[in-house]
Amino acid sequence: MNPKSRLHVPSPPARPGQAPDFSYVQLSPAGAVPKPEPNARLADLGGLDTSLIRVLDDQHRALGPWDPHLDAHELQLGLRYMLLTRLFDDRMQKIQRQGRMSFYMKSTGEEACSVAAAMALEPADMLFPAYRNQGLQFVRGQPLVALMCQLLSNTGDMCKGRQLPVMYHSAKARLFSISGNLATQFPQAVGWAMAAAIKGEDHIAATWTGEGSTAEADFHYALLFASVYRAPVILNVVNNQWAISTFQGFAGGEQSSFAARGPGYGIPGLRVDGNDFLAVYAATQWAAARARTGTGATLIELVTYRASAHSTSDDPARYRPKDDYENWPLGDPLERLKQHLILKGDWSEERHSALSQELDEMISLAWKEAVTFGTLTDGPRLNADQMFEDVFKEMPAHLREQQQQLHIEQATPWRK
Amino acid sequence: MAQMNMIQALNSAMDVMLGQDPAVIVLGEDVGFFGGVFRCTDGLQRKYGEHRVLDTPIAEGGIIAAAIGMGVNGLRPVAEVQFADYVYPGYDQIVSELARLRYRSAGDFFAPVTVRMPCGGGIRGGQTHSQSPEVLFAHVCGLKVVMPSNPYDAKGLLIAAIEDDDPVIFLEPKRLYNGPFDGEPDKPAVPWTAHPKGEVPLGHYRVPFKAEIVKAGTEVSVITYGTMVHVAEAAARVLGIDAEIIDLRTIVPLDVHTIVESVRRTGRCVIAHEATRFAGFGAELSATIQEQCFWELEAPIGRVGGWDTPYPHAFEWEYFAGQARVGLALKAVMEPV
């Protein structure tokens, strides 16, 4: 290497075989960060983009101005959705490993980023998810069978077999079609929000992307348009530390927080403990109030950790310590909310195992039903004719012709 | 010589070039410490250091643009785009900048950038991991466009691409990474070790940007490249047709001479590519062949490609231009007029 070289190459603090080191994660004590009014001027927001908004402390108490004071029922519901997300992820991953599904992506460790945010929004608000936001699907009431059918590309698949597993959508539930391309949904959510403002509607949009994807230009378009038009949108960056093998330093996380990108464009940035259900809920609520009252967009960085592999095609043991997640300073979102509820006397280990069992059975039942619509290897299959539909609203002549050619191809014993 | 699959051959090409030319650098998402999601750059950062094999942010536009800047400043960057399907954020930099820099500066500036990207389907990748966008580059003046069909060519073509002073778009059919694939997904996978083109020299060599007649024949010329070379060979074999199989290896520059000479000899022609058919590269080939071989043609030119839809996850093999589609096209052009 050239000794004169001044090129800095970011490097994660620990690689496989080394001790996990999260000293780079700047923490604030729970309850310590002030909470301004949602319509406060950007200049009066202080250090919200660099401190860490936390409500739950290490003893599982809810502290400080950001505590959303949710009732026991809401908290139990949040726990239920997060547990459902985790159990669903675990089961789908297992099924993928058995070869019955082509691909899967878990969201383990990041459940609060989706579940708490979706619960803090109104059902008519439009969500533009990334591919690791399955919690949004559950909160918005997507039936498990529908999600499983998508994963199986079977006859019940809402995408008619067009998309990779986890790329769900539901127009009815206001969950936008998930793209396999990164960050493309970010500026689209801004456009949706601009349209809501143009039409004089109260709805807002919310979108999510990973910290790695903030490197794409789309992220910057989103911030600029959101700022220029004060669009009623919430822009969430799920900083789970890893983009496949690439450490968040390569997305610019070494120099400043991702939340701090917001003020640079003229919109507030909130840096939030993404594993703290209450903090995510409160931050979303704050940003939603700001958007709904015409003050404009908010960028929320949800600091979390991708506890699982990027996908079933990835092996994180090659690039990070095996016990990284066990040492993650912000703990586990499920465990933290569970302990908080237990502390308040609104939950118990017994109720938790009963819930776990109930959800597991629900998943089993749903799976039994989903496979009746077909799997990769057996059961009914979608009709290949459908491959030619929806390219355009009306099928043009050349596609009708190709549809006929496919019939001929499949019916002709060409080898003779 | 060594037995290599296409991944190892590409790795060896970059290894050779990093070793012999200090100007060569490799950059892309996950290419450094991890060695690439397909392992094409495995071990190169360990061997050549973090300043020669660079991990980058997830920003294809940034990767291409930075590569252009590095190229202008004397380096010879080999940029990896993780999937061809993800190149589009970098498309403006490729089309408006990389391709035309030499032209607009009357030769005073140029960027010798190679952009590698896995392409093609057959790995259950759905619409975002299966595309064959070669024609989107072929249509842009100033880019060379290469697509190897085997490990030997992959290494020699990649070295030639890196050494080329013009920008080269280097498309790697990912279904061929681990073995030749004849379009029949239910058959057991065949490794490259059983294939003569899996035999790869360890050192430096170039494969010229010219077509290769991979199998001589007299009855029909099959003009193809990438994965379809193997599919077409298999289909002709099944039908017992003495087809001449031409692997273009590069679509820009296009080896018109080899194509025309062959079609004039056989009088019949089938064009096959994985990419969608409409305005696909087959259209350019068909027009050229018609212009230059009209009087020798015994039958209309056959053209085979993917259907004109996005690549569907559930209908991979109904979509893919497999042996049946190629076979039917071969039979159609073989029918006496």
Residues 6+ apart with CB under 8 A from A254: A10, A24
Bond prior to B253 in cis (omega within 30° of 0): yes
Q: List the single residue in A with minimal CA-CA distance to B84.
A: A181
Q: Cβ B126–A384 below 8 Å, yes or no? A: no
Question: Is a pLDDT exceeding 70 seen at residue A1?
Answer: no
Convert B156-206 into a string of H (helix), E (strand) and C (coil).
Answer: HHHHHHHHCCCCEEEEEEHHHCCCCCCCCCCCCCCCHHHCHHHEECCCCCC
In the predicted model, what is the mean pLDDT of residues A203-207?
A: 98
Question: Residue A264 above 90 pLDDT?
Answer: yes
**Is B62 in CB contact (< 8 Å) with chain A?**
yes
Mutate to test the interface with B, among A237, A414, A415, A416 (most CBs of B within 10 A): A414
CATH of B212-334, one of 3.40.50.920, 3.30.450.20, 3.50.30.30, 3.30.470.20: 3.40.50.920
Nearest CA in chain A to B237: A415
Q: Active-site positions of A?
A: 306, 310, 319
Residues 6+ apart with CB under 8 A from B255: B209, B210, B211, B248
Sheet holding A205-210, edge to edge: A126-128, A205-210, A233-239, A298-303, A269-273
Distance CA(A178)–CA(B119), nearest Å, equals 22
CA-to-CA distance for B212 and A131, rounded, in angstroms?
43
User: E strand or H helix at B306, and its extent?
Assistant: strand B302-306
CATH 3.40.50.920 range(s) for chain B read 212-334
| Closest CA in chain A for residue B322 | A409
Which of A1, A9, A415 is facing B54, going by the closest CB pair?
A9
Using a CB-CB distance cutoff of 8 angstroms, which residues of chain B are in contact with residue A164?
125-129, 313
Give the mutation candidate from B40, B313, B333 for the A interface (greatest A CB count, under 10 A).
Answer: B313
Contacts with B118 from chain A: Cβ below 8 Å: none
Three-state secondary structure call for residue B32: coil
Name the nearest CA neighbour of B282 among B121, B85, B135.
B135
CB A290 within 8 A of CB A120: no
In this predicted model, what pLDDT tens digit does every residue of A272-326 receive, in sequence order?
A: 999 999 999 999 999 999 999 999 999 999 999 999 999 999 999 999 999 999 9
Token output for A103: 């691909």
pLDDT tens, per residue, chain B with 337 residues: 999 999 999 999 999 999 999 999 999 999 999 999 999 999 999 999 999 999 999 999 999 999 999 999 999 999 999 999 999 999 999 999 999 999 999 999 999 999 999 999 999 999 999 999 999 999 999 999 999 999 999 999 999 999 999 999 999 999 999 999 999 999 999 999 999 999 999 999 999 999 999 999 999 999 999 999 999 999 999 999 999 999 999 999 999 999 999 999 999 999 999 999 999 999 999 999 999 999 999 999 999 999 999 999 999 999 999 999 999 999 999 987 6
Chain-chain contact of B33 with A15 (C-beta, under 8 angstroms): yes
What residues of chain A lie within 8 A of the CB of B55, using their CB?
9, 245-246, 250
What pLDDT, on a 0 to 100 scale, did the predictor assign at position A256? Answer: 93
Mutate to test the interface with B, among A164, A400, A405 (most CBs of B within 10 A): A164
By C-alpha distance, the chain B residue nearest A391 is B309
> Do residues B274 and B304 touch, judged by C-beta distance below 8 A?
no
Which class in CATH covers the domain with range B2-200? alpha beta
Q: Which of B58, B125, B310 sits opposite A212 (nearest CB)?
A: B58
Residue with tokens 């600029």: A224
| Mean of per-residue pLDDT scores for chain A | 96
Q: Vertex A160, ends A80 and A92: CA angle to 5°? A: 35
Task: Please give, rounded to a whole number of angstroms, the shortest distance from the CA of B231 to a CA of chain A.
Answer: 14
Q: How many CB atoms neighbour CB B293 within 10 A?
A: 22
Q: Do B126 and A162 touch (CB under 8 A)?
A: yes
Contact across the interface for B318 and A410, Cβ inside 8 Å = yes
Comparing A32-41, A373-382, B252-261, which segment has the lowest mean pLDDT? A373-382
Tell me, what's the pLDDT at A3?
A: 64
Q: Residue B122, SS3?
A: coil
Q: How far is it, in rounded angstroms, from Cα B290 to Cα B278? A: 17
Which pLDDT score is estimated for B47? 98
Query: What is the Cα–Cα distance from B277 to B299, expressed in whole angstroms?
Result: 20
Rg, C-alpha atoms of chain A: 22
CB B127 within 8 A of CB B313: yes
pLDDT attached to residue A377 = 82
A interface mutation test: which of B80, B184, B309 has the most A CBs within 10 A? Answer: B309
B chain contacts of residue A250, beta-carbon cutoff 8 Å: 55-57
Return the number of CB contacts < 8 Å for A and B: 139
Query: What pLDDT digit, counting tens, does each position of A338-375 carry?
Result: 999 999 999 999 999 999 999 999 999 999 999 999 99
Q: Catalytic annotation on B129?
A: yes
How far apart are alpha carbons B154 and B146 in whole angstroms?
A: 9
Averaged over A154-172, what is the pLDDT? 97
What percent helix, strand, coil does chain A show, rounded to 5?
40, 10, 50
CB distance B312–A402 less than 8 Å?
A: no
For residue B187 the two structure tokens come to 């058959």
Contact between chains at A391 and B309 (C-beta distance less than 8 A):
yes
Asked if pLDDT for residue A376 goes beyond 90, the answer is no
Dihedral sign, CA of B51, B57, B58, B60? negative
Separation of alpha carbons B133 and B91, rounded Å: 11
* Separation in Å, CA of B272 to nearest CA in chain A: 15
Q: What is the pLDDT of residue B13?
A: 98
Catalytic residue among B51, B129, B257, B273: B129
- Is B320 within 8 Å of B230 (Cβ atoms)? no
Domain with CATH 3.40.50.970 in chain B: 2-200
B220-237 in b/e form (b: 16+ CB < 10 A) is bbbbbbbbbbbbbbbbbe
Please answer whether residues A375 and A369 qualify as being in contact, where contact means their C-beta atoms are separated by less than 8 angstroms. no
Q: Which domains does chain A have, with CATH numbers?
A: 42-311+319-371 (3.40.50.970), 387-416 (no CATH)
Percent with pLDDT over 90 in chain A: 96
DSSP states along A236-276:
EEEE-SEETTEEGGGGTTTTS-STTHHHHHTS-EEEEETT-
- In the predicted model, is pLDDT for residue A4 greater than 90? no
Closest listed residue to residue B111, CA positions, set B78, B154, B151, B82: B78
CA B24 to chain centre: 21
Q: With CA atoms as reference, report the closest residue to A274 among A116, A66, A88.
A: A116
Q: How many angstroms separate the CA of residue B97 from the nearest CA in chain A?
A: 17
Question: Contacts of residue A409 in chain B, CB cutoff 8 Å?
Answer: 324-325, 328
pLDDT the model gives residue B241: 98
Contact B250, B144 (CB under 8 A): yes
Half-sphere exposure of B164 (CA within 13 A, CB side): 25
A153, A157, A159, A165: CA torsion to nearest 10: -40
Could you report the per-residue pLDDT of A111-137, keeping only the tens digit for each? 999 999 999 999 999 999 999 999 999
Contact list in A for residue B59 (CB cut-off 8 A) is 215-217
- With cut-offs at 50, 70 and 90, classify the pLDDT of residue A2: low
